Amino acid sequence: MAVGIFDSGLGGLTVLGAVTPRLPETPFVYLGDNAHTPYGVRDADDIFALTCTGVERLWLEGCDLVILACNTASAAALRRMQESWVPEGKRVLGVFVPLIEALTERQWGDNSPPREVAVKHVALFATPATVSSRAFQRELAFRAIGVDVEAQPCAGVVDAIEQGDMQLAEALVHSHVEALLRRMPRPEAAVLGCTHYPLVEDAFREALGPNVAVYSQPDLVAASLDDYLNRRPEMVGPGRDSLFLTTGEPVNVSRKATQFLRRQISFRPA
């Protein structure tokens, strides 16, 4: 009955922290590919290969459903995986769609044609690979028309978070927000398009100011996953145990994860 959560490193723990209380009876197996983080500076083929390897490892733990709690993997690899790689009986879902549905005020699973929405100017903050993929704009176009998106690649932020240098991460956030505001001075909404970014969400909010609505993913993904499993209970796999796995050095990853989430977390080698 386990569900897998895959991330390039520690960012997906923000999603795990939201889904665990929402689905307290569901075991989750988390896999962080810390040996290869960050994904945001890699090319699409490299991201696809690494993501497939990680998802296969989670299938071995009995996770028939895997959530890509990594926007870069969702942007660069998910569509290709779903179209040509995921076998029957397995599911791999991304984290963009719940975010966009909240932004456009559509119900989960609403597949009606795109329509005008209230928000017209959206700032997207994401990794360079996510920005270059234009996956956010593509998914948004399925649901809304007339929305101007200004995307800012936030180089260095994930690295700083993974290294535990939150002071540098926050300084980089302010720099990236300033760069975007020079191009879009009055965004109505800002999308934090990386699951690492909730760890520096306060810095984004401070830099953007009180008049910008900030959309962050963990709670939105948790609500969507809860709804999905209510509709598709057969996708809860045969796994029974909650685990934390990493391709990196477990002691070091455990220390950083415990620091970020403020509770004890122990990773095992993947």
Per-residue 3-state assignment (H helix, E strand, C coil) for the chain: CCEEEEECCCCCHHHHHHHHHHCCCCCEEEEECCCCCCCCCCCHHHHHHHHHHHHHHHHHCCCCEEEECCHHHHHHCHHHHHHHCCCCCCEEECCHHHHHHHHCCCCCCCCCCCEECCCCEEEEEECHHHHHHCHHHHHHHCCEECCEEEEEECCCHHHHHHCCCHHHHHHHHHHHHHHHHHHCCCCCEEEECCCCHHHHHHHHHHHHCCCCEEECCHHHHHHHHHHHHHHCHHHCCCCCCCEEEECCCHHHHHHHHHHHHCCCCCCEEC
Active site residues: 70, 194
